[in-house]
Structure 1
Amino acid sequence: MDDKIIFIQTGGTIDKDYPHTTKGWAFEFGEPATNRILKKLNPSFEYEIITSCQKDSLEITEEDRMNLAKLIEKRPEKKFIITHGTDTMLETATYLKQQIKDKLIVITGAMLPERFSNSDAPINLGCAIATANLMKTGVYIAMHGIVKRSDEIDRNLENGKYY
């Protein structure tokens, strides 16, 4: 159980999918992108994928963050990877860092939906998985090929990149 990774979907660009309705014009949230990425990976670790919410990160509320923290706290596992929208992942990281002390949480997302062939989703999720296998506790962000503690990372709002 100590090595099992729990993946939690919250929505965000990584999970956006093409509309399934006729004449649909906006993206919809579907199954977690993590399902498709892990199927290709054929991982050597035990995992579970669950959904907390399916929202654009600009729509995530304090109540959503509170529910996410409760979900993590009630689980016996110690390793969590959260897929999240990039616009407010830092706010969620800050909230979780204040609430949870004895678990490892890695937050990641994507600038382009995983469904796009040129998406950054697989590499970002891969960095998050590597972090989950190397670190013990704390809250981290894995984006753009880097991993940093949530209180050591920032975002350039002009190009969207984390640094």
Structure 2
Amino acid sequence: MKILIIQTGGTIDKDYPKTNNGYAFEINEPASKRILENAFPGFEYEIVSLFRKDSQEITREDRDKLKSYLLNHSADKILITHGSDTLIETAQFVGNISGKAIVLTGAFIPERFTNSDAAFNIGVAIGALNLMHEGTFIAMNGMVFLANRVEKNANTGMFEKQ
């Protein structure tokens, strides 16, 4: 199995380098690369960065670019890392693409932090891709949801079945 991993940005990839005026975040190299380098994966993967944005800054043009990339790439197992604020919107925009299993995931705490949920969420997403044949899904909070049957609880921030 080979998985295409697409970085779009979001908290999962945030880094907080020290600057002269304190700390300011930037979206850096893909967190998935660091996670998989230490995970001894039994599969091949390719990581590409389409854009590095906070999910609240993702535009219709960005989503068009992502969907076009998905439609034109030969991969049939795809993991997309994304910010949690608009993750559902992007998943629903992508929709189901014939012959492709797509899972979007992110993190509430940057991968660079020791108490991050990033590695857990990526692991759940990869596990889901092992079982999925087609469709677009979201993997967050240890759960896997159909992209059109999930909501983010405004009070808890948790993803829940709709």
Query: Shared fold by TM > 0.5?
Result: yes
For residue 44 of structure 1, the aligned residue among 38, 42, 55 is 42
* Aligned positions of 1:19-38 closer than 5 A: 19=17, 21-38=19-36
Question: How much identity, in percent, do the aligned residues show?
Answer: 51
Counterpart in the other structure of 2:156: 159
Shift of 1:40: 1.0
Return the TM-score normalized by structure 2: 0.95
Counterpart in the other structure of 2:115: 118
Shift of 1:21: 3.7
* Aligned positions of 1:7-22 closer than 5 A: 7-19=5-17, 21-22=19-20
Residue ranges of structure 2 left out of the alignment (5+ in a row)? none
In structure 2, give the amino acid aligned to 1:132. L
Shift of 1:19: 2.2
1:144 and 2:141 are equivalent in the alignment: yes
Structure-1 separation of matches of 2:8 and 2:148: 21
For residue 69 of structure 1, the aligned residue among 67, 70, 77 is 67
* Aligned positions of 1:91-110 closer than 5 A: 91-97=89-95, 100-110=97-107
In structure 1, give the amino acid aligned to 2:136. V
Structure-1 separation of matches of 2:153 and 2:57: 21
Structure-1 separation of matches of 2:62 and 2:91: 13
**Which shows bigger deviation, 153-162 or 109-118?**
153-162
Poorly superposed stretches of 4+, deviation over 2 Å: 19-25
Structure-2 separation of matches of 1:46 and 1:111: 27
Greater fraction of residues in strand:
2
Shift of 1:24: 4.3
Return the TM-score normalized by structure 1: 0.94
- What is the RMSD computed on CA atoms of the aligned residues? 1.1
Instruction: Write the deviation string for residues 26-67 of structure 1: whole angstroms up to 9, x where unpaired.
Output: 201111000110011011101000001000000000100000
Structure-2 separation of matches of 1:22 and 1:101: 49
Give the number of aligned pairs: 160
Structure-2 separation of matches of 1:24 and 1:68: 34
Shift of 1:23: 3.0
Residue ranges of structure 1 left out of the alignment (5+ in a row)? none
